[in-house]
Amino acid sequence: MNYNTVIDTVRLQSDFCTALQQREVLDMLMSTLAASGILYIQQKKYPANMYSHFLKRDYFIYSHNTTIATITTGSFNERINGIVGYTQKYYISVKLAGLCRYDEKIDFISHYCLLKICAFFNTRNIIFKLTELDVCIDAECTFHHLLALCVKKSPKTDYYRPSDMQAYANTTYIEKIPSKNLEKAVLRAYTYDKSLKEHLSRNVTRFELKLQPKYFHKYRFDITSIDKALSRYYVMYFKNSYEKTRTIEAYEKYKLFRKREIDRLDLEKYRLYPDITKIKSFLEQLLSINDLNVWFMYDLSMQNFHNTVRNTF
């Protein structure tokens, strides 16, 4: 059974001391993306009486009638050590959700867009930080053959039992988080039928770990911490329902599922391991890519891409 480690969502943020700096960088960034010829940008319209219109703006990046990324601008108050009160900072946040949809055209454009944005920041020495990352294991199997368990639970988090009824037949959530608190969680994980969501002709089941803004506020751009977060979960493939059911029943006997229980059930033989080297290389590329490199890597391919899809935009 084949499986692969993929990154599906990335959110980056750059902070500025003044609104003028924020505006200048935003204008340059949008001009750079629009110059690619395959991306177009549209600002979200808010009702005239909405106060949030003056605090926050969203710009959607489209291609091939698909949303590729969202640029959000706004401000926040930051406390500085040794200074009474707060100072106002201004930010540009870019989120790409859907880097791996198994649509060759859209995945190509999404990856190109991400590297173009990072190259823009790096070439101009504009510091940015990672504020969200979705790390996934995609297995070429049906949904019912995969099982993901949290083997290192947080004492402040509620969890579903594997046998609990879920809201959706083809999605299994691990953490029990109210919808109003989803964005406040540090991390959360779930398994779902990717082939059903993307209308694929082959079976793909995805385990997805969402590392959220609160996580990166604490750990920053640290691959070791990402590895530790992934190690909290065992993603396993079972050839038959008997072994899967036996594992679920054993897991639910324990409030804390320690290493000795993992060894006793021999869970390692079922486990699918995330490729941390691949994640590390991906993140290092975001930090090192520049305008020249992204041109070499993508613009020649983009010429062929233009020829095949020019009439579809």
| pLDDT tens digits along 53-111 | 456 899 999 999 999 999 999 999 887 766 667 889 999 999 999 999 999 999 999 99
Residues 43 and 123 reside in one and the same domain: yes
Q: At what angle do helices 104-123 and 300-309 cross, to 10 degrees?
A: 140
Q: How confident is the model at residue 308 (pLDDT cuts 50, 70, 90)?
A: very low
Q: Tell me whether residue 3 is in a domain.
A: no
Residues 178 and 270 reside in one and the same domain: yes
Show Cβ contacts of residue 138 under 8 Å, excluding neighbours closer than 6 positions. Answer: 3, 4, 5, 6, 100, 194, 204, 205, 206
Residues 99 and 183 reside in one and the same domain: no
User: What gap in Å lies between CA 244 and CA 145, rounded to an integer?
Assistant: 8
The two tokens of residue 75 are 């401000």
- The pLDDT score that the predictor gives to residue 299 is 54
Q: How confident is the model at residue 304 (pLDDT cuts 50, 70, 90)?
A: low
Please state the rounded mean pLDDT for residues 284-290: 93
- The pLDDT score that the predictor gives to residue 21 is 96
- The number of domains in the chain is 2
User: What gap in Å lies between CA 140 and CA 146, rounded to an integer?
Assistant: 10
- Burial (0-12, 13-18, 19+ Cβ within 10 Å), 241: exposed
Phi–psi pair at 75, nearest 5 degrees: -145, 160
Q: Is residue 130 a contact partner of residue 113, using CB atoms and an 8 Å limit?
A: no
- The pLDDT score that the predictor gives to residue 298 is 62
Q: Which domain holds residue 214?
A: 135-274
Residues 7-47: tens digit of each pLDDT: 999 999 999 999 999 999 999 999 999 998 889 999 987 66
Q: Is residue 74 a contact partner of residue 58, using CB atoms and an 8 Å limit?
A: no
pTM attached to this predicted model? 0.89
- The pLDDT score that the predictor gives to residue 222 is 86
Q: Is residue 94 a contact partner of residue 11, using CB atoms and an 8 Å limit?
A: yes
Please state the rounded mean pLDDT for residues 298-312: 48
Residues 107 and 221 reside in one and the same domain: no
Q: Tell me whether residue 35 is in a domain.
A: yes
Residues 112 and 145 reside in one and the same domain: no
Q: Tell me whether residue 214 is in a domain.
A: yes
Residues 141 and 266 reside in one and the same domain: yes
The two tokens of residue 126 are 């504009």
Measured CA to CA in angstroms, residue 249 lies from 44, 131, 164, 265 at distances of: 49, 37, 12, 11
Q: At what angle do helices 19-34 and 104-123 cross, to 10 degrees?
A: 140
Residues 205 and 232 reside in one and the same domain: yes
- Burial (0-12, 13-18, 19+ Cβ within 10 Å), 79: exposed
Tokens 């975001």: give the residue: 286
The two tokens of residue 307 are 């020829």
Phi–psi pair at 138, nearest 5 degrees: -100, 120
Please state the rounded mean pLDDT for residues 253-257: 79
Q: What residue spans of the chain are helical by DSSP H?
A: 19-34, 104-123, 194-198, 213-219, 223-231, 241-251, 259-264, 276-288, 291-294, 300-309
Residues 261 and 155 reside in one and the same domain: yes
- The pLDDT score that the predictor gives to residue 312 is 33
Q: Is 260 left (phi over 0), alpha (psi -120 to 50) or beta?
A: alpha
Residues 268 and 297 reside in one and the same domain: no
How confident is the prediction for the chain on average, in pLDDT? 89
